[in-house]
Amino acid sequence: MNNDLSKIHPQLRGIARVSPKFSFSRQNLWLVRRLISLIPASKAPDLHIENVLIPVENGAMTVRLRIYTPPSAPQPMPALIWMHGGGYIMGIPEMDDRYCIELVRQVGMAVVSVDYRCAPSFPFPAGLDDCMAALEWAVSHAAQLGIDPTRIAIGGASAGGGLAAALVQQAHDQLAIKPILQQLVYPMLDDRTVLRAELDDSLNVTWDQQSNRFGWESYLGRQVGAEDAPAYAVPARREDLAGLPPAWIGVGSLDIFHDEDVAYAQRLKTSGVTCELVLVPGGFHGFDVFNHQLPVVQDFRNSQIAALKKAFSV
């Protein structure tokens, strides 16, 4: 970790100071996944949390959905289809238990978190197919879940934000389902960022350029930057963004995804799509997962909650 922490937000410097510089690779991925698998599920006695298996690949496989619902919200209630982060190569819904529980309590909605398949064992389009199956299942089971199929948002963090952006694009093109918000938390949108040799990643605690290359090449099953990226594989590669639902995009100024996220937000706006862009000075990638009590983290989360409430009219 770079010893010059002056660029990091003052409230985040303590985290950066004690966090070791770490890059993800094929050699250590098994260990990271093992550690993630040990993350305990959070308990929330005031909510209903259940795991549901749904079929994918024409019934050849199943994917787990982790569903959070309030016990007494007016029905039908809005819902968020949520994708966890992990660079397209790792992660489980339980990583975001605390976040999803907070959203349910604050907004009064359901959250459907997708345990999508990860690369490199399952490269594109497996993960996105799982997310599409989750969206379609939630809509077709809206009455059973007590949700309003006309008030569905799609969101995710990091790679989950990339999947959310891709899912929104695919749903726009192929389905009658019309999400009313895309909530993209420091989304991983553009494989071409890997090719930027001038990008300084020395102050990133959780995700650097080496990890970024490994994540993208694992997901795409090829080297980054190819001209013929498959449709929906790299959301930032889509040329026509017109007609997509309103967006909330949040990212820190030190995040290696900062430039690609800002560019995507600007392109959405240019295409006539309403987009709220929240920039956190001195924020590195994933800065909000370490200490939920920090004011900078609370402000970031409150902005997301406000965007959902506005979209859902609650």
Give residue 73's pLDDT.
Answer: 72
pTM for the full predicted model? 0.96
pLDDT one-digit tens code per residue, 210-246: 999 999 999 999 989 888 899 999 999 999 999 999 9
pLDDT by position in tens, the chain (length 314): 455 789 999 999 999 888 878 899 999 999 999 999 999 999 899 999 999 999 998 889 999 999 999 987 778 999 999 999 999 999 999 999 999 999 999 999 999 999 999 999 999 999 999 999 999 999 999 999 999 999 999 999 999 999 999 999 999 999 888 899 999 999 999 999 999 999 988 888 899 999 999 999 999 999 898 888 999 999 999 999 999 999 999 999 999 999 999 999 999 999 999 999 999 999 999 999 999 999 999 999 999 999 999 999 97
Give residue 160's pLDDT.
Answer: 98
Report all structural domains of the chain as residue ranges with CATH numbers, in order of start. 10-312 (3.40.50.1820)
Q: Which residues pair with 63 in a beta bridge?
A: 54
Q: Are 83 and 98 in contact (CB under 8 A)?
A: no
Q: Are 237 and 247 in contact (CB under 8 A)?
A: no
Cα three-residue angle 45-96-51, rounded to 5 degrees? 60
Give residue 169's pLDDT.
Answer: 97
Give residue 3's pLDDT.
Answer: 59
Residue recorded with tokens 């862009």? 277
- Calpha distance 290→278 (Å, rounded): 19
- Calpha distance 215→73 (Å, rounded): 39
Sheet strand arrangement including 147-157: 48-56, 61-69, 110-115, 77-83, 147-157, 181-185, 247-252, 275-280
